[in-house]
Structures are given as C-alpha cells and as structure tokens.
C-alpha cells in the first residue's frame, strides 16, 4: 500500500529510535539501576553527582566559550587589566563547599546502610582462587567451585561466541529472594574482588582476612545476574566470572536439598566400577576445564612456567607422586591442591587421562577407590 | 641527539669555549639547557615506547576474543605501559621543562647543583633499560599492574620483579635528586628583587611539586624495599602467613601514590598559568589565590590516599573520612579553573598552538576532575572501582591533562630553545588530531566502565564490543598524530622563521628578555627584578 | 663545563649546601617513615579500634555475663594456597552470652608424606567486633607442627567482652591456615 520510499524511510526512522533501546539493552551508556534498594540508592547518587557536574560544566565552559568567541584579538577586543578579586575568590570557594556538603549527606547515609550486615538470614562464604570462585553455604553443608564454561574455541575465534560469552559458569551461586544474604569474602592466594553490579556488591577478597557485604534481593526480582572479578589476580583475571541466580525461598530450599543429595550420590558413585573409557571421557572434559589453562590443551605446558605433562616422567612413571601432586598441590608453586575442588571420580578420571593422552599411553587406570585410599 | 639547540653566542666573558663537541658533551654536561634537552628527548622516546604498548593493548581489545597476544603478555603490556608512561614519560618531561625554564625564569645562571643534575638524568636510561630488558627474558616483564599489589607482586611474581624493584629505586633516586636541586635552586638563586610572590606560577608549582617528591618518593623506595625483603630475605611485611598484611601494602603504596598523581599534574597547572595570560594579553587572575590553591592541593594530597581502596574492607569511619577529604580537594582545584577562565575573560585572545593545547587542557582536565569527584563518592565508587570508568578518569587527567600541558609548554618555549618559530599550520594540525584522538579513545571508556567492564582484562563480554572498537580507532589516531609532533620538532630544530627575544606578543617574564635561541650560558650577572 | 655561580643567596637566605643537606635528611627520614608505617598501622588501628585483627592471649578472669542477649558466633576455616591439611571447625556456630568463657575446637590433619608447619591467621567480621574478642588459648597464637599423617584437635578458649555494641548480633571468626615452613621457628 505504501510506496517503497515511505517504507524505506519509516524503517530508517523507526530503526533509529530503536538504537537507544538496543544500546540500553547491550550495556548502553549508564550504570545499572540494579534490583536492590542499595543499588538503586547508588544509582541515584551517581546521577545526582553527574547532573551537578554537568551543570557546573555548562556554566564554566559556557563562560569560557563565550569568552573565546567574544574576547578575541581578531574581533578587536582590547584586554582589560583586572587581575584579582577577593570577593570572587571567596564566592567561588564558598559555593562549591556548600554543594559538596549537599552531596556528602546522601552519600554518608547510603554508606552507613551498606555497612549494616546485622540480622542476616543466609551466610555464604566466598573464596577467590586463581582463577575461579568457591562458595560455601554456612550451616547448610553445601559447597562447590564455580568455573568459567566459555570454551577456548570461542575465545580464540574458532567457533562463534555465545550470548553470555565470558559470563557463564558451571555452577551458579543460588540465593533466595526476600532474605538478607551476608557474603563473607576471602581468598586462597592473591587479592581478587567479587562484584555483581546488579546488587551493587563489590568487595576485595584478601588472603588471610575475611570481608563482609550483604544484599537483599526483593521478591519479584528473581533472575540471573552476572558479575566479574574486579582485582587483577594474574593471567586469567578476565576469565573468572560470577553468576548469581536468585530464586524463591521454596526453590532455594529444594535446591539445597538437591545439592546435598548430589554430594551423597557422588560419594556413593565413587565406590562403584568405572571403565577405562568412562574415565578417559570424563578425564578429557575435566582436563579441558581445569588443567588446560596452565598445562596446555595438548599437555605441552608453558615454557618454564608451567611444566609439560605430555612425556613427563611423573605422568609416565610415578603414579603415587602424580596422585599426590593433584590431591595436595606443590607448595611454593602455582600448582594447587585439587582434593576439595574436584570429586574423587573427577580426580581419578583426569589422572587416568593425563597418563594416557598425547602419546603418554601408560595403559594405566586410576580408579576413584584409589583416590579415596590415597586421601587416608 | 641534536647539537643545534645550543648556540655559540656567548654573552659571558669568562673564557668559556662554548659546549664541547660530540657525544661526550652530553655525557658530561652540567648545563641546565643540555640536561633539559636530554630529559625531554628521553621522555619523548619513552612516550613512543609506552604508546606502542598501549596500541598493542588496544589492538587486542578491538574485538572480543583473543586475536593478537596471550593473557600473560597482555598483563605485561598493561603493567609496562603504566610504569613507562608515569615514570618514564610524564615525570621526566616535567623535569626537563623545569631544567630548561626554572633558571631562566628566576634569573639564575644554572641549577644550584649542576653535577648532581647530570647524575639525575643519566640514571634514567639505565633504570629503564633494565626494566625494558625484562620483556626479553623467559619469565617476562612485570605483569602485576603499575600499582603492583602484594601478594601478586611478591609471592606470585615472576623473577623480573627484582629488576623492577631496582629500576624503581634508581628512578626514585633520580627524582629525589632532581627535586632537591629544584628546591635549592629556587630558594637560593633567585635574582635580586624576585620575592617568592613574584615568581612565575610555573616556578611555584614546581617548587611545591619538588617538596611532594622529596616527601613521597622515599616512601615508594620503602615499599619496594619491603617487597624485596619479603621476596628474598624471608620477611613477611605483606604475607599473612608470617603475621603481615597485604592491605598494609596498599596503604603504604597509595600514601606515595596519591601525592604522585599531583606530582604529575601540578607542573602542568603552572605551564597553563603561563600560557593563558600570554595569549589573552592579560595578567593571570588571582595570582595569590593560585599559589594558595596549589599549596592546599599539595597538603590535602597527603590525607586522601585510601580513596583508591574503598572496596578493601576498611571500617566505616575511615571510609567516611577519606570520602570527605577527597571531596575537599575539588575546592582548590575548582578555584584554579575559575581563575584561568577569569584570566581569559575580557582579554584579547589569539589561538596559537600553545593556547589551543592550554584551552583543551582546561576543558578536558576539568572533565577528568568531574569523573574524579564522582569516584570520590564512596558508595558510588563500589560500582566504579576497578572498572573502565576509573581508566577513563585517570587518562583524562593524564593525557589531555598532564601530557597536553607538557606539549603546550614545548610549543610555547620551542622558539626560545631553537631560535625558530615552528610551523603554525602543522602545530594546529597536530593539535586537532590529538584532540579528536584523545576524546575518541577515552570518552567511550566512561560508558563501558559504567556498563560493567572491569579493568586489566584482555577479553570482554559482547556488550562492551562497540565502544571498545571506537576506543581502539581513537588510540591509533592519537598515536599516529604524535608522529606529526616528532616531525615538527625536528623540522623546527633544523630551521624556520627566526624568533624574536619576546617570541609572543603577550609574553612576560625574565625568560623572554634573553635572545632566541637562548645562549648556552645566561644570566651570569643576575638581572634586577622590580 | 661547570658554570660559575654568583654569590650564594641573592636574598638573605641559607647557603645552597645547607638547604641541600636538609632536604637529603628529609628524604632519608621519609624512607624511615615508610618503614615506620608498618608498626604505626597496627598501633593506629588498635588505638582507633578499627582493626579486624584480634589481640594476643589474655588472662582468664571472672567477668560479668550479660544474660540479656545472645550472640551467634560462627567459625569458618580456609586453607591458603598450597596448604593441603584438613582444617575444619568442629562446631560451625555457638550461641553465647557476652562475658561467658567458651571453648571450641578445630581439627587439623596433615595428609602429606612430609612433616609440615602451619600458621593459622585469625580475622573477625564485623571488624569492629575484633577488639571485643578475648582469647586465653588459641591455636593461632603459635605455629602448629604436624608430622606426615598426624592430626590433632586444637582448642580455642574465648569470650566476647560485655561491652560489645548492642547492634552486633553475629560475629564471624575466620581462620586461614598457611604453610609456615618458610617462617618456621
């Protein structure tokens, strides 16, 4: 019905109107308002200071540009001689002081609220590791590690990047809405920082010390919120995200029950039988997710910094030492202890894989029972 | 090295033969003009090296995904870029300008301690040579950020950390000696009649900066020595295992670090305070106020350090104190901006290149100051800290802030140094390319930071892609436009329209009473200042 | 190569060498100040009561017990990098009255083939509560030596000072276990 010109024109106009919305969706121009009272207060504080700065800027630059335009020699302007005024100095010292005091009042009250961790309903201990987060629900007997799941193929442009590129993990931090959650944050090694913008929680994770923060995500704001590590912590600093999953209180309780049941099931399963093939398949997957970042996707290591596993004497000869180093780590190096990070099945699988992949071909199988025995 | 900047017209008659010939002239010189020249060429070289590293970083960040380098090399690039720009480009450039101009501005024949002056310079190439050499070792260069927090920089550091510590010590000694030289020169060698309150603002701001340097560079030396002891001698200053505290590192580092950033900006305030009156043909508005404001900024800079640490888990009272103290610094800083604008107002302005850079400084540094004020608000800082919002802030105050100040000073004084006017069209072209480049690079960083992009990451989530691409384009524009500057400098040194003594119609001050180019020895007899 | 300086002190000021000497001394003093910041930091935090660190052993004295309120005290343990010992709290939390002496225990076990030395570092949250935690016996006061395959229970005897502010209802005591082999006494 409409001419092709009108159609083209209207799609351009409508399309351009969508741009701000699209931009707002995809990160956009501004800080998030977030989903908590605190995140909203912070956003309002941010906008207040921003607008004050804008108006001061308009005023000052306005005078400046007026002057640049009017008071130029090429327009015949003749320079005045005035060069001081005590009155003006006092005025433009006093007025900014008053403005700053006005800013400091809401800032102070928001900060005081942020520091009030009393009367929490849920306590979660968060430990930063190089390069993943560990979560422990105090008093609930639930704890796990949370690793980035974005594949190396996506990172190196071999496959297309997923929607949550670099912001997805294997196990979400699940919390209930409508309850006060207290976060107790520490680190296993270097300083990290735990940050989820939508709940405005950011705290440094410092080895040897415990920091605390809190959030209440109101009922109705259930959903997934993504964050990242916010303190340089080494090579994979950009690759240890956080996924917070907020669910209703009922869903949270069932989830806790599932987690506990899952751990029991894993412990029981570890006592069962595993074929060589089962272990190799699982081992390859564990290796890619946990070990490849340092030891290389082909077990080649990284120069003198991380030893190669392909063709290494430990992988070929020393099974007891191999099990010990994966369980207990190697003090004084970056090799961590994995006894708490991986299940017995995972550890058995990855050691079996390392002893047989990349031409190592020892033909040996390490079973979960052997791992349980080694821990005694 | 050029030999054309000095000239053989000696006014003095004490039997000097003028400067020596060849490379030994530069190795052994105690002449403030030669030493100033060396500092400036050194800092310009470091600007290109640090800039190349920035371009490597920006190229990797052009798109999501890892295309160019690996994360461990990326961390080396960001660390070295910061170290080289702060300690190798900005600080030595200001020292070079001080060396050239402070004696001329106060009517002194040279710096008070000329041989120490030579040592101060020559330490630097060795210090930075050592630092840059670590790039070629197996373990790689320092990779823990220019702020080198423990324990990433102690227990978990590559072996190059020891060279880094020695480099910092050497460079620190150079800065301290340079600062002592400046203070002694200003206190003792001013021409008769030049009271402190008659000194040009550039001399005042450097005088105050020098005290800051003497106060805080030794603290930096202390903190890297503590690191050295933790790493090699079994102490545990920053290791909780032995009773130490990683947060202590941050307190001591930033006690140095905050005054350090004022060290990097105060001389630029001084330069701009010389340039605007000249090209507005009107005296600086509020001279005394400018002196007091600069002094207040210097005093306040000692009590705000923990605003770099708002998320570290400080007690509430401490957090509030540092928030209030940091907000206070906005007041004297604002006063300075108002005074510059009042200097322009009802002046008779022309817009030669130095003035263009100075005016851009006023606007863009102020924008950097606004984002700084936003960062000062502690609750909001929990969302800004360690994001690109901070990166945008400090690049605004350092690049169109400190660096534009330096470039403005170079254009302003270049005819005095070389005896030749630079090509004004080329200068303006350099200005506009730099202005556009700097804004296209750093303005988008405010947005990605607010949107949630953390600092110091080699790869990022998809929603940050567009602005990162824009920033990379801007970085190349800015980087390439500095080649224009290099070309212009060499061209001007080699020849051009001859400059008068006064050079600029509105110029005032002792430095404009001597010939252009400035003779090798000047003010052998002190002038009398009324 | 050297330039001739005019008579020193064009104003009636000090000689250059005096000023230079004073500044060198100032620089040295600031270097010392940097090191002094180490103890000063602890002193200031203790004085202002704003440290999350707990103090050393105190005498176990009879004190007034505030039965009007109970405080939940949580215990958490963390193993630092490269510290493979089992390290657990035997009770996750206790409810106590301020002023009442309480004993809890922790379990540590060395599963490796080597004798090792561990050091537990305490940290308290909220940090303002730290100055109210009084300990007469704590495994964190000393290094703990465990032979290969050895394990032991480690006691902690403490109380919360009755002056603990009213708004504090939960205190979390965290211990991080480090491999102290490098600092073995």
Q: What's the pLDDT tens digit per position in B428-483?
A: 999 999 999 999 999 999 999 999 999 999 999 999 999 999 999 999 999 999 99
Number of A to B CB contacts under 8 A, please give it: 280
Tell me what pLDDT residue C3 has.
40
Mutate to test the interface with A, among C165, C168, C176 (most CBs of A within 10 A): C176
Mutate to test the interface with A, among B63, B452, B455 (most CBs of A within 10 A): B452
Do residues B36 and B94 touch, judged by C-beta distance below 8 A?
A: no
Q: What's the pLDDT tens digit per position in A20-78?
A: 433 333 357 899 999 999 999 999 999 999 999 999 999 999 999 999 999 999 999 99
Tell me what pLDDT residue B8 has.
43
Q: Judge whether B307 counts as a catalytic residue.
A: yes
Please give, rounded to a whole number of angstroms, the shortest distance from the CA of B344 to a CA of chain A: 7
Residues of C in contact with B179 (CB under 8 A): 23
**Which pair of structure tokens corresponds to residue A286?**
């564990």
Give the number of other CB atoms < 10 A from CB of residue C166: 7
CA A39 distance to own-chain centroid: 17
Find the helix or strand (DSSP H, E) in which B370 lies.
Answer: helix B353-376
Window B:257-286, CB contacts with C under 8 Å: none
Average pLDDT of the residues of chain B: 95
pLDDT at A15 over 50: no
Report which of B273, B312, B308, B305 is spatially closest to residue B290, judged by C-alpha positions. Answer: B273
Report which of B318, B437, B296, B461 is spatially closest to residue B388, judged by C-alpha positions. Answer: B461
Side-chain half-sphere CA neighbours of B24 within 13 A: 3
Cite the beta strand spans of chain A per DSSP E: 122-129, 132-137, 142-146, 173-176, 180-187, 192-196, 201-205, 211-216, 223-229, 242-247
Single out the catalytic residue among B37, B333, B366, B371. B333
Find the helix or strand (DSSP H, E) in which B229 lies.
Answer: helix B201-232
Q: How far apart are CA A121 and CA B398, in angstroms?
A: 46
Q: Judge whether B308 counts as a catalytic residue.
A: yes
- Nearest chain A alpha carbon to C72: A119
Residue A203: pLDDT band by 50, 70, 90 thresholds? very high
Find the helix or strand (DSSP H, E) in which C157 lies.
Answer: strand C151-160
Sign of CA dihedral A97, A103, A106, A111: negative
What mean pLDDT comes out for the span A247-269?
92
Residue A1: pLDDT band by 50, 70, 90 thresholds? very low
Task: Mark A279-297 as b/e (b = at least 16 C-beta within 10 Å).
Answer: bbebbbebbebbbebbbbe
Q: Is the peptide bond before A131 cis (omega within 30 degrees of 0)?
A: yes
- Nearest chain C alpha carbon to B173: C27
Please give, rounded to a whole number of angstroms, the shortest distance from the CA of C128 to a CA of chain B: 7
Residues of B in contact with C10 (CB under 8 A): 188-192, 526
- Nearest chain A alpha carbon to C149: A376
pLDDT at A211 over 60: yes
Q: Judge whether B149 counts as a catalytic residue.
A: no
Q: Decide if A6 touches C, using CB distance below 8 A.
A: no
Q: Is C80–A208 a contact, with Cβ atoms under 8 angstroms apart?
A: yes
Facing A79 at nearest CB: one of B246, B280, B287: B280
The reported pTM is 0.91
Single out the catalytic residue among B25, B251, B455, B456. B455
Residues of C with CB under 8 A from a CB of B: 1-6, 8-11, 13-16, 19-20, 23-24, 26-35, 37-38, 41, 48, 50, 52, 80, 119, 121, 127-128, 176, 178-180, 182-183
Do residues B478 and B55 touch, judged by C-beta distance below 8 A?
A: no
Which ipTM score applies to this complex?
A: 0.93
Tell me what pLDDT residue A5 has.
57
Residue C51: pLDDT band by 50, 70, 90 thresholds? low
Facing C180 at nearest CB: one of B20, B241, B251: B241
Percent of the residues in chain A that have a pLDDT greater than 70, as a whole number: 93
- Nearest chain B alpha carbon to C50: B315
Residues of A in contact with C88 (CB under 8 A): none
């Amino acid at each position: 019905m409409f001419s092709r010109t009108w159609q083209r024109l209207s799609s351009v106009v409508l399309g351009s109107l969508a741009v701000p919305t699209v931009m707002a969706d995809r990160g956009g121009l501004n800080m998030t308002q977030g989903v908590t009272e605190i995140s909203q207060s912070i956003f309002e504080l941010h906008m207040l200071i921003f607008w004050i700065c804008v108006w001061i800027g308009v005023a000052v630059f306005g005078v400046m540009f007026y002057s640049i335009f009017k008071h130029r020699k090429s327009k015949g302007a003749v320079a005045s001689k005035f060069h001081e005024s005590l009155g003006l100095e006092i005025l433009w010292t006093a007025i900014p002081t008053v403005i700053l005091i006005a800013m400091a009042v809401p800032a102070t009250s928001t900060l005081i609220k942020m520091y009030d961790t009393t009367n929490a309903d849920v306590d979660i201990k968060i430990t930063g590791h190089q390069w993943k987060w560990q979560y422990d629900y105090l008093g609930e007997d639930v704890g796990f590690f949370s690793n980035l799941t974005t594949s190396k193929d996506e990172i190196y442009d071999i496959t297309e990047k997923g929607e949550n590129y670099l912001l997805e993990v294997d196990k979400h931090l699940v919390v209930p809405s409508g309850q006060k959650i207290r976060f107790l944050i520490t680190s296993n090694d270097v300083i990290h920082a735990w940050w989820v913008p939508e709940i405005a929680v950011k705290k440094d994770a410092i080895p040897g010390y415990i920091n605390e923060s809190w959030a209440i995500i109101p009922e109705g704001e259930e959903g997934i919120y993504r964050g990242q590590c916010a303190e340089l912590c080494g090579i994979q600093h950009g690759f240890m995200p956080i996924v917070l999953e907020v669910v209703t209180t009922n869903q949270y309780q069932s989830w806790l029950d599932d987690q506990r049941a899952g751990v029991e099931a894993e412990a029981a399963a570890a006592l069962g039988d595993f074929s060589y093939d089962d272990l190799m398949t699982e081992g390859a997957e564990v290796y890619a997710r946990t070990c490849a970042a340092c030891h290389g996707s082909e077990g080649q290591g990284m120069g003198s910094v991380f030893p190669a596993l392909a063709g290494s004497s430990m992988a070929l000869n020393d099974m007891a030492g191999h099990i010990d180093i994966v369980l207990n780590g190697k003090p004084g190096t970056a090799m961590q202890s994995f006894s708490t990070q991986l299940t017995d099945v995972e550890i058995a699988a990855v050691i079996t894989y390392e002893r047989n992949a990349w031409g190592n071909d020892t033909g040996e199988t390490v079973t979960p029972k052997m791992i349980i025995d080694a821990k005694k | 090295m050029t030999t054309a900047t000095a000239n053989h017209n000696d006014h003095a008659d004490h039997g000097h033969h003028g400067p020596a010939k060849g490379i030994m002239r530069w190795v052994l010189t105690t002449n403030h003009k030669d030493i100033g020249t060396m500092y400036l060429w050194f800092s310009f070289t470091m600007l290109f090296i640090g800039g190349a590293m920035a371009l490597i970083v920006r190229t990797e960040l052009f798109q999501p995904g890892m295309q160019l380098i690996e994360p461990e090399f990326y961390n080396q690039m960001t660390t070295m870029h910061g170290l080289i720009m702060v300690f190798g480009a900005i600080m030595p450039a200001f020292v070079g300008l001080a060396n050239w101009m402070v004696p001329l501005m106060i009517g002194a024949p040279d710096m008070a301690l000329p041989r120490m002056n030579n040592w101060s310079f020559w330490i630097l190439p060795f210090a930075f040579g050592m630092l840059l050499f670590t790039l070629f070792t197996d373990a790689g260069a320092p990779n823990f950020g220019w702020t080198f927090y423990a324990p990433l920089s102690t227990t978990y550091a590559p072996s190059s950390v020891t060279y880094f510590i020695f480099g910092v010590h050497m460079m620190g000694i150079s800065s301290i000696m340079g600062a002592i030289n400046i203070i002694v020169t200003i206190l003792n060698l001013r021409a008769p009649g030049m009271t402190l309150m008659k000194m040009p603002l550039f001399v005042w701001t450097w005088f105050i900066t020098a005290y800051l340097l003497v106060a805080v560079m030794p603290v930096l030396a202390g903190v890297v020595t503590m690191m050295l002891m933790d790493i090699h001698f079994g102490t545990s200053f920053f290791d909780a295992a032995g009773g130490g505290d990683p947060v202590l590192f941050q307190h001591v580092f930033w006690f140095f670090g905050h005054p350090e950033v004022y060290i990097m900006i105060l001389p630029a305030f001084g330069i701009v305070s010389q340039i605007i009156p000249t090209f507005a043909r009107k005296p600086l508005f509020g001279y005394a106020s400018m002196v007091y404001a600069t002094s207040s900024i210097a005093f306040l800079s000692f009590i705000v350090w923990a605003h770099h640490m708002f998320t570290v888990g400080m007690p509430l009272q401490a957090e509030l104190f540092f928030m209030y103290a940091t907000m206070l610094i906005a007041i004297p800083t604002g006063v300075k901006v108002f005074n510059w604008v009042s200097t322009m107002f009802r002046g008779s302005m022309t817009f030669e290149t130095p003035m263009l850079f100075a005016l851009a400084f006023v606007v863009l540094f102020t924008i950097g100051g606004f984002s700084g004020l936003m960062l000062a608000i502690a609750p909001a800082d929990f969302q800004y800290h360690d994001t690109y919002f901070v990166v945008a802030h400090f690049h605004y105050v350092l690049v169109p802030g400190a660096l534009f100040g330096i470039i403005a000073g170079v254009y302003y004084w270049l005819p005095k140094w070389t005896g030749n006017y630079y090509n004004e069209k080329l200068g303006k072209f350099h200005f506009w390319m730099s202005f556009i480049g700097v804004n296209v690079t750093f303005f988008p960083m405010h947005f990605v930071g607010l949107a949630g992009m953390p600092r110091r990451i080699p790869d990022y989530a998809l929603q940050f892609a567009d602005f990162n691409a824009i920033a990379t384009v801007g970085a190349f524009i800015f980087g390439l436009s500095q080649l224009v500057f290099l070309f212009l400098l060499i061209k001007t040194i080699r020849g051009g329209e001859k400059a008068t003594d006064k050079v600029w119609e509105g110029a005032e001050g002792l430095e404009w009473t001597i010939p252009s180019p400035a003779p090798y020895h000047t003010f052998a007899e002190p002038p009398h200042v009324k | 190569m050297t330039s001739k300086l005019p008579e020193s002190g064009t104003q009636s000021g000090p000689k250059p060498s005096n000023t230079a000497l004073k500044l060198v001394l100032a620089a040295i003093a600031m270097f010392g100040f940097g090191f002094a910041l180490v103890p000063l930091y602890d002193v200031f935090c203790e004085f202002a009561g704003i440290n999350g660190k707990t103090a050393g052993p105190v005498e176990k004295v009879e004190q007034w017990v505030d039965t009007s309120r109970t405080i939940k005290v949580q215990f958490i343990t963390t193993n630092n990098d490269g510290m493979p010992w089992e390290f657990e709290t035997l009770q996750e939390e206790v409810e106590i009255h301020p002023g009442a002496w309480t004993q809890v225990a922790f379990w540590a076990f060395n599963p490796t083939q080597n004798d090792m030395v561990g050091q537990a570092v305490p940290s308290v949250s909220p940090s303002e509560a730290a100055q109210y935690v009084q300990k007469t016996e704590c495994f964190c006061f000393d290094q703990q030596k465990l032979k290969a395959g050895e394990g032991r229970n480690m006691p902690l005897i403490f109380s919360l000072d009755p002056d603990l502010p009213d708004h504090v209802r939960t205190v979390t005591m965290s211990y991080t276990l480090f491999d102290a082999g490098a600092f073995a006494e």
